Structure 1
Amino acid sequence: MSQPKPRARIKYSEAVVNLIVGVLERGGTNLDAANAAGMDRNTFYLWSKKHPEFKARIEAAKAGYVQSQTTAVLDTLEECRSLAEAYVLKVFKGEIQRVKTRTDATGVVIFKDTETVLPSDRMVERFLQLNSGEQQFNLTIGLAEPDDDYDDDEFSEPED
């Protein structure tokens, strides 16, 4: 079994730092950045301890990436919301049609029916809330906490 080849010693320089920061700005990991610079992971961490300006730049690069991804997600959510609102308005105007077809074994249409999509009660309720200013949007990611009124007896194992 052969030993891995030792890497050449990389000197701290602006060019190497720029390369590392570039990898991190594109969402790479510390290990990805170290590999791109041709250095060992330990050297990367040593530099971050020894050079405060290096540490500040890598933290800023990571924060910038997270911010750009957050912005992209929020933009996508806003686009989806706009599309959903446009769809709901078309439903209320009676512009959305549902087409039902039935085909035979050869694929020839033998039945075709078109009906206007009617808004559901829930859609009407949400539409009225949106237009009354009572809208609320919460996005929570994490582990669920049990309710205050959680009762252990409700979920106990059945007795034999």
Structure 2
Amino acid sequence: MEEVEFRDYPCSGIRRCPWRKDADLTQFSESDMACLTQAQRGVRHAHGTPEDDRAAMAALPMACHKDSPASVAHPLRLCAGWLAVVGPHHTRMRMYLVLGVLAPQALYPDTRTWPPLHPSLADLLASRDEQLRRAGHPHRAETSSQPPMGRSGWSRNPPMRHAHADTDKTGHG
């Protein structure tokens, strides 16, 4: 099994990683949020049943919103923000770590130079709701004209090998 590819820094630019607290979450659609929620199903809970364990193992991880499966230059890579927040608790990511196909720094990065991240999916979703409310969107809606963010569905074939995030003037993606 080859190494799993991942971004090593939360994306910056106009459409920032949704896990960044400084991201404009109104740029992400309900479909995008559903993908994050679906990937969250891989988190195993202490009082889970064997069926819960099977479901958690089947939950696919979250790819970067800037990557596209159709791109030769940038195949799907795991999202750095998602890995830092959800990854250490995600059953499949822990299994990849044990199997040696995911580098430890993917789940336990040195975040001292990173922007602040949402500490949980619940916090990210609450921030998005607040941003939508302030922007005059009374209800959650398909608010993005952008293509959907990186999907968790990899058809059971995760991206392979480590990849650096696209960089901006600061040297970070």
TM-score above 0.5, yes or no? no
Higher relative contact order (CA 8 A, sep 6+): 2
Structure with higher strand content: 1
Larger radius of gyration: 1
TM-score computed with the length of structure 1 as normaliser? 0.20
TM-score computed with the length of structure 2 as normaliser? 0.20
